[in-house]
Structure 1
């Protein structure tokens, strides 16, 4: 999973002010991880990331298609309005992310483990299984959904860009350009989806990462931010509006190859199986 390199670098970059490390850009962050912790630490947290994407990607696609087919249906001419795509994409992303939140929480914490050790802090995680057990032991089942609200907010915005943008841009290309429903159309639509998803999702990604990785008290309450809104306000007040787009480039670099790989592969598999494309 080459895209995971950008995911790890992006998470470290977004959390700069949480762990109070010196400011570094995305490239400097990745180089610092390699220099200080080793090359393969860029893939630390890959296992829970795989768990998360199995649940997340499968769920969001199925829900989007079922809602499009049975609830927010296309008009009689076959057109599917942008607002329906947007609502459907956001809803699908929220449900999928809620189910995938435990694995996402472990992934984020594992990505930060090497930096914690370098800063002299005690290790929290030895393996994904130990991480799940530790979180459950300290906070119960509810602890596995720490940060679920900003996570779902982020997923709603990302899928507003990814699912809705892919569906809408693909329909536009097929109806307005004369292109066929083939890999060229799928590539162009996926490029659009990745870029729009980065624009809509980066602010929520910043807030999500900071809320999920902040230190907590004995009762599991955050010590830096009261809630998502408080993190949002503090980030702008202390660092300016564009703090919400800190990590946009790695976010785009992460979502662009992911969208390209996911959508083109998914569509080609559907064609090989004789199923209808997305």
Structure 2
């Protein structure tokens, strides 16, 4: 009886630490974090388009972060702060579930920990880079649809007809115009951004948590998780903002026969943005990115660690 009980316990623990179980747990935590911080993501996207020449050559009026957010509420309504939430949640179920599970797979079975149980910074960086790139490669179509839906309120104010009316409408129109490959417009800067963000996020959180537990008297609890997530949010925002600006502009640009009318690719967008608007234009939206990434990171890591513990999985 005792042997059977131990076998059942071992089997349960093994299931709780499986790839797909952790995938589901990380997806749930990501949905919680994304819903709580989404208005900042929408504000960030609108800020990144400012200064870009529209189809007719006119420049949008420039606003700050607070003015942009208030303008959205005043001109489009409070609910407009959640435009594109549906594809954003779908994206995170695919993207975060993939990146977190892939990172742990690399950490535990491919790159592997050191003999003392530590995971060196270079391994954490490489693992985060690969996990972020692969996760975003899988989820890129949902990101494209999210960006286009986020810009619908601005198009309405400019007197333009709606480009998309929902997630599936956007999906069908992109495929009809450009084929399946159209769903991967902006995939290069998207993957680049995700690789950099995850190198900063996962490596920093993992390394910071290890060092806090190793060099202080703090336990593996919400205090340690909060401190590690604060570090990871700042580093991820610093690494990822330039690639995020490029990604947003490429995904939002008008197209003809499946080809972008403003930029030929991520390098072209990077050069044009820096030369026409200055290098600091690559950091447009940094404050809302960081202000969003910090609470997003906090919400995600606290939720993720708590959900793992409740589900019987090991601590991250």
TM-score computed with the length of structure 1 as normaliser: 0.97
Q: Which residue of 2 aligns with 1:12?
A: 46
Distance 1:79 1:157 in 2: 22
1:274 partnered with 2:300: no
- What's the counterpart of residue 22 of structure 2? none
Q: How does 1:185-200 map to 2 (within 5 A)?
A: 185-200=224-239
2:259 corresponds to 1:224: no
* 4-13 vs 34-43, which moves further: 34-43
Unaligned runs of 5+ in 1: none
CA distance in 2, matches of 1:21, 1:39: 22
CA deviations over 1:221-277 (Å, ceiling 9, x no partner): 111111101111111111212111111100011111111011111111111222211
Number of equivalenced pairs: 277
Post-superposition CA distance 1:63-83 (Å, at most 9, x none): 000011111112212221111
Aligned counterpart for 1:153 among listed residues 188, 192, 205: 192
Aligned pair 1:21/2:55, yes or no? no
Seen in structure 2, the aligned counterparts of structure 1 residues 4 and 122 have a Cα distance that, compared at 3 Å, is same
Distance 1:51 1:100 in 2: 9
Rounded to whole Å, the distance in 2 between the matches of 1:160 and 1:131 is 31
Q: Which runs of 4+ in 1 moved over 3 A?
A: none
Kept after mapping to 1: 8 A contact 2:51/2:277: no
Match of 1:77 in 2: 116
Q: Which residue of 2 aligns with 1:52?
A: 91
- Whole-Å separation in 2 of the counterparts to 1:269 and 1:23: 42
Number of the residue aligned with 1:108: 147
Alignment of 1:97-246 (within 5 A): 97-218=136-257, 220-246=258-284
Equivalents in 1 of 2:306, 2:161: separation in Å? 47
Q: Offset at 1:122?
A: 2.1
Shift of 1:34: 1.3
Q: Return the index of the structure with the highest Cα Rg.
A: 2
Which ranges in structure 2 are unaligned for 5 or more consecutive residues? 1-34
What TM-score results when the alignment is normalised by the length of structure 2?
A: 0.86
Query: Cα offset for 1:108?
Result: 0.4
Counterpart for residue 66 of structure 1 = 105
